Every structure is written in structure tokens, then in C-alpha cells.
Amino acid sequence: MKRLLFLLILSACDDVDGASSIQPETLTDTNPDPRIVEVELVATTATHEYLPGKPADVMAFKDGARTGAAPSIPGPLLEANLGDTVIVHFRNELSHATTIHWHGIRVPNAADGTPVSQMEVPPGGTYDYEFTAKDAGYFWYHPHMMGDVMIEAGLYAPIVVHDGLDLGVAADRAFVLDDVKLEASGKLSDKTDNLDLMLGRMGNVVLINGRQRPSITAAAGTRERWRFVTAANGRYFNLELPGQMFRVIGWDGGLLPAPYETSTLLIAPGERYDVLVEIGDQPLELRTLHYDRGHDIPDPGPITLLSIDVGSPGPPPGALPSSWGDVAPIPVSGTTPRRQLVLREDDTVPNLPVFTINDEAFPNITPVPGTMNQIEVWEVVNMAEMDHPFHLHGMSFQAVDASGAPVGPRGWKDTINVPQLETVRFAVRFDAPGRWMYHCHILEHAERGMMGELVVAP
């Protein structure tokens, strides 16, 4: 019943947008059990028109359970309710081996989709991923091999785990931010220069849900829920909605204990934000502003991502709930072990930059040992003149300061930006056994050494 209600609400939401919808399609749930979401996911080659009339060769996901489903960028949305069992039958139709990682979802190790947690899926091969949706929130999935190539080529897609909270919204939109480096022909550039390797490939075309500057229609006088993830190799998005505030209700691992308002929203590669936006009677523009992430990347000025037209009035938003996310603090004391991870870049050899953690470059690394339920404070020290977004698999963490006290709103993160020449600390409880990767989410950095492994003994 509850699920049926969700579907009704969601299809009502889709109508707001009508023909102009840029929402990815939801993967077909083939399992009649309302507590099980069972889907078929295919990675394949395809074409996609980033520039109108100029198809590019891409890699993309498609819904394997729906006959005639077209591959799309972003790939199809995986939707579940909190507590559901999720089963994904994955089929690799690419000519390369791959794996799928469920970024931010707390999965059993065998479902984590990295080359240290499973055998790679060869061309033509299959793999079944199974996990429980333990946290409500906004997540995403992508390959975890040759990420700088495969994610750039289009293999990324959003995941929504519904919390069942009634926020009186007229629409719940899943947005994926990206950029691509295109040739004049509209094809993806296959040239990787030193700057691409150093900074993470920066595209010349900026995308939201695979499109350049699309428009949507929102009903006047309503509230909408917008979810964002940055899937770009290197670009940071610094969103603004001139004349409007974002009310941030959640991020990576789910809802915050209380919302906060901000006029700009910085989203590093891999991070997610969940916000409410009040729609008035005037059109809006979503833009990204320059953010200085180091190495003198020039300021291109504001870039418009999305135009929001205002349609006829919709249902006025109701009161917001008085209680939000329940985020229990991870207890930290003076005796909680501290672990230092030092990030460095070495660009002495042209076109062969190396990025290290504690002076080791993956795969030649010493894994971090952990035992179940142990708590540590990780101090990520950035000795580079460039920001690095640090991502940990398997478990989420909470930002703390040098004394162990919480920094900013308490909330679950799995990806956190470590600004150039600064130190970021977080408290983490090792609550899942297995081999978990951690790495910079600038994909060129991860693929060139800035990656490590946490091994939690059962």
C-alpha cells in the first residue's frame, strides 16, 4: 500500500514537468514483493547528443528489464524505500571489464563493486549485487575500474532511497551534474593532456542530467525537493539560484538533524546535497559559480545549468516537519586513536603525475587495519596546492575538529572536500567487515595513485 502511494505521488510529480521532464527513468522493479526491488541493469555502448545533431559515442546504462529501453545519460534511477532489499542483476555489454559501485550505500563487502571486493565482470559477463537500503538518501552508482574513462564516457546514475517523510513538495527531482570535453564534431575528446591529469579532466560543456542548459517547468507557489550529485571527473559545482536560498535538509548519508539555509552550495565530485526550494511566480536560473580549487584554474564566470519556468499554480506547501534526521554522534574522546593520511601530488615528470596517500601510490599500498566497531579519527592532511574530495567506502563518517568536537551541522558524510594545504578530520566507526577502498574522487587522481584500502576484520 505504502509503495503504491509512493508511485502515485511520484507520477503526480512527473506531471508537473510534463513533456519537458529531464528526470531519468526509474529502473523496472520485476519483483512483486513490496519489500524487494529487483532490477536488471546493463552497461553498453551507445550514442548521445551532447550537441544537437552531433551524436557522440558513449558508454551508458540501460534498463535490462524493459524491452526497447534506450541507454541514457545519466543512467536509469534506482529507487527503493528505506529497508528494502535491493537486487541488481548486472550485465556487462561493454568491450572492457567493469564493476559497479553503489556510492554512499552501506553494502555488504561482496556488493561494493570494487576490484578488491569482487572479480571484475568481463565483457559479456554478469554479476548479482544484493544489499539492504539501510539509509534513506541520495546516492549514485558508477563503475569502479578505469573510472576516469568510464564515468567520463557516461556510466553514472542516481539512486534515491525514500524516507517516507511528507515535505509537502510538488516535485522530487534527481539531478546529476557533470561536464564533458567535446570536439567540435560533438564527440568526446580522446586526448588527455597534462592539465587533465593534474586537475581532473575539465569539460568545455557543462551538463545537468546529461543536457546542456535544459529547461523545466515548476508549478507556481509550490515547494520542490531537489537532489544533487556531482559525477564530473574534476569539476566542482558551486550552485546558486539568484534571488532564492537553498534549504539544505540532507547530504551524503541522509537527512540532517535540522535544515540550514545557504545561498551557494559547493558540491565536490562524489558529494550529494538534498535541498528544498520554494518556487514563486518568477522564472529561476540555476547557475554554477567559480570555486578556487587550486592551481590557478581560471574563472569562466557564472555558467547557467538549468532554466526553471513557472507554470500554473500548484498546491501550496504545507508546514515542514519538526523532526528530521536522527544522527547519533560518534563518540570521540582524548584517547580515540588518530590516524593521519597525508595527500601529496608529484608533478616532476611531465604527463606522468603521481598522487599519493602517506607517500604510497595505489596499488602499492599498505592497507589500514581495522577491527569491528573500533572508532578512529582520521586526519586527512592535504599537502597539495589543490583540493581533493576524500571518499571512504563501506561506512559513513562525521566531521570533527582537532579536539574531536563536531564541525558544522552533524550529519553522515562519505565524501568530504579537503581544501588545498588544509587538514580535515572525521570520526568513523568501522561497522562493516571487508576490504573497503578510500580515495580522492577526482577520478584521474584515484586512477593515478591516490587510493588506499581499509581492511576491517570480522
Which positions lie near ligand C2O, rule CB under 6 A? 101, 103, 142, 144, 270, 391, 393, 437, 439, 441
Q: Which residue, 232 or 266, is less far from ligand C2O as judged by CB?
A: 232
User: Which residues make beta-bridge pairs with 42?
Assistant: 62, 91
Tell whether residue 416 is a contact of Cu ion (CB under 5 A).
Answer: no
Q: Which does 440 bind (CB under 5 to 8 A by kind): Cu ion, ligand C2O, none?
A: Cu ion
442: partner contacted, choices ligand C2O, Cu ion, none (Cβ within 5-8 A by kind)? Cu ion
Our CB check for Cu ion shows the closer of 252 and 387 to be 387
Partner whose footprint covers residue 388, from ligand C2O, Cu ion, none (CB < 5 to 8 Å by kind): Cu ion
Q: Decide whether 96 or 187 has the Cβ nearer to ligand C2O.
A: 96
Cell of 429: 566507526
CB 205, CB 179: distance < 8 Å? yes
Task: Kindly tell me the number of DSSP H helices and DSSP E strands found in the chain.
Answer: 4, 29
Name the residue with the smallest CB distance to ligand C2O.
103
Site for Cu ion in 427-446 (CB under 5 A): 440, 442, 445
**Shortest approach of ligand C2O to residue 302 CB, angstroms?**
27
142 binds Cu ion per the rule CB under 5 A: no
Tell me the closest approach of the beta carbon of residue 109 to ligand C2O, in angstroms.
13
Shortest Å, Cβ 237 to ligand C2O: 16
Give the nearer residue to ligand C2O in terms of CB position, either 324 or 378: 378
Residues in contact with Cu ion, counted by CB under 5 A, come to a total of: 4
The Cα 444–Cα 197 span in angstroms is 6
Q: How far is the CB of 354 from Cu ion (least distance, A)?
A: 12
Part in contact with Cu ion (CB under 5 A); list of ranges 10-18, 55-63, 387-395, 429-437: 387-395
State the Rg of the chain over Cα.
Answer: 21
- Residue 183 phi, psi (nearest 5): -80, 165
Tell me which residue has cell 562493516.
432
- Report what 181 binds from ligand C2O, Cu ion, none; CB cut-off 5-8 Å by kind: none
Contact between 198 and Cu ion per CB under 5 A = no
Report the largest interatomic distance among the alpha carbons of the chain, rounded to a whole angstrom: 62
How far is it, in rounded angstroms, from Cα 107 to Cα 216? 34
Q: Is 6 helix (H, G, I), strand (E, B) or coil?
A: helix
Burial of 9 (0-12, 13-18, 19+ CB in 10 A): middle
Which of 103, 344 has the CB closer to ligand C2O? 103
Q: Does 388 bind Cu ion (CB under 5 A)?
A: yes
Any contact of residue 235 with Cu ion (CB under 5 A)?
A: no
CA 332 and chain centroid, separation: 28
CB 355, min distance to Cu ion, A = 6
Identify the three-state secondary structure at position 149.
helix
Per DSSP, 360 falls in state: B
Closest distance of CB 352 from ligand C2O, Å: 23
Q: Residue 234 CB, nearest distance to Cu ion (Å)? A: 8
Shortest spacing between CB 86 and ligand C2O, in angstroms? 17
Residue 391 binds to Cu ion (criterion: CB under 5 A):
no
Degrees (nearest 5) of the Cα angle 118, 210, 61? 35
Side-chain-side CA neighbours of 218 within 13 Å: the count stands at 27
How far apart, in whole angstroms, are the C-alpha atoms of residue 2 and residue 381? 46
Do residues 252 and 414 touch, judged by C-beta distance below 8 A? Answer: yes
Phi, psi for residue 20 in degrees, rounded to 5: -85, 10
Instruction: Note whether 288 and 312 are within 8 A (CB).
Output: no
- Closer residue to ligand C2O, CB minimum distance, 61 or 324: 61
Measured from the CB of residue 357, what is the shortest distance to Cu ion in angstroms?
Answer: 10
Q: Is 448 in the site for Cu ion (CB under 5 A)?
A: no
Q: Which stretches of the chain bind Cu ion, using CB under 5 A?
A: 388, 440, 442, 445
